[in-house]
Amino acid sequence: MIWNLINTGFQRGSFNMDFDEKEAINLSRSEGNPILRFYGWKPYAISIGYNQRMEDFDIDKINAAGIDIVRRPTGGRAILHADEVTYSVIMKIENETPKSIYKFINEGLLHGLRYLSVDAELSDEGENFPALYRQSNSIPCFSSTAKSEIKCRNKKLVGSAQRRYGNVILQHGSILLGPYHKKIVDFLSPDLSEEKEMLKKEIELKTIDLKEITGRHISFDEAVDALTQGFADRHGIFFRHAEFVENI
C-alpha cells in the first residue's frame, strides 16, 4: 500500500485548513494515493467546527493575543492549536464506513505513540459520533470523547474530526505535546463567563498531553517520525515523500 507523506511545517490557520480541503477535493475528482500530512500552526490558532458559532469567542482578545481564528471544513468543536502535532489523512472510501476509517487511522497513530513510550488505548465507549459533531452546547473539542478516540490514563490525548467529500474522507486531528490547549477557555466570549469555570475543570479532568505522560518535552519532529513509523508498521504502508514547496 503506497501513500503520500507530506510535512508542511508550521503555517497559518487559513493555509492549513485550505490545504486539507483542497487535497480532499482534488482526490475526489481524480485517482491518487491516500495522503498523510503533518503540520503545525504559526501563529497559534483557534479552529472552530464547520457549524460552530463564531460568537462564542472573544475575537478582540484573540486578535490582541496574536492568535488566528479559522473555521475548519470538518465538524466538531473548537481547539486551540499550540503545542501539538496536527495530522490529516485523506483517503478514498471503498467498502469502509467513516467509523471504520476513524478506527483505522487512530490505530496507526496509537502504534506510533508507543514508539514514544506512551501507553495509550482506543476508547471503547463514548458519545454518539455523528451527534457529537452536531452539538453546540459544549464548546471545546477536548471536553468530550467519541468511540475509538485515543486516550491515556482515561484522558483524551488526540482529538479528531471528519468530513466526507463524495468518495473521499478527510480526517484531521491534534496530538497534544503540551498543555497550552487548555487556555482556550480564556478566549471565550464574555457572555459565557458562567460556563468558563466549568469548562476549565472539564478540560483539566478529561485531557492529557505527551509532556505530562512522559515527563519530557517531545519535539514536533520526533513525534512526526514516530507517528509515521507507527502508520507504516501497523498498516503495511510504504510512504512516498511528496515534495512541499512553500510559497514566499
pLDDT per residue as tens digits for the range 114-171? 999 999 999 986 555 555 444 444 565 555 566 789 999 999 999 999 999 999 999 9
CA distance 242 to 111: 23
Which residues are 171's β-sheet partners?
89, 162
- 142, 207 in Cβ contact below 8 A? yes
Between the alpha carbon of residue 64 and those of residues 58, 67, 71, 93, 119, the distances in Å are: 10, 8, 19, 42, 38
Burial class (CB in 10 A: 0-12, 13-18, 19+), 184: buried
Q: pLDDT 10s per residue in the chain (248 long)?
A: 999 999 999 999 999 999 999 999 999 999 999 999 999 999 999 999 999 999 999 999 999 999 999 999 999 899 999 999 999 999 999 889 999 999 999 999 999 999 999 999 999 865 555 554 444 445 655 555 667 899 999 999 999 999 999 999 999 999 999 999 999 999 999 988 888 889 999 999 999 999 999 999 999 999 999 999 999 999 999 999 987 777 54
Domain ranges of the chain: 2-241
The residue written with cell numbers 468530513 in the block is: 163
pLDDT of residue 195: 87
- Tell me how far the alpha carbon of residue 53 is from its chain's centroid: 19
Lookup: cell for 164: 466526507
- Please indicate whether residue 141 is annotated as part of the active site: yes
CA distance 49 to 47: 7
CA distance 213 to 206: 14
Burial class (CB in 10 A: 0-12, 13-18, 19+), 179: middle
Between the alpha carbon of residue 100 and those of residues 97, 145, 212, the distances in Å are: 5, 17, 30
Q: Annotated catalytic residue: which of 101, 141, 185, 227? A: 141
pLDDT of residue 246: 73
CA angle 150, 127, 95 (to 5 degrees): 70
pLDDT of residue 127: 54
pLDDT of residue 193: 83
Q: What does DSSP say about strands 238-241 and 2-11: parallel, antiparallel, or unpaired?
A: parallel
Q: Which fold has domain 2-241?
A: BirA Bifunctional Protein; domain 2 (3.30.930)
CA distance 109 to 149: 10
- 38, 227 in Cβ contact below 8 A? yes
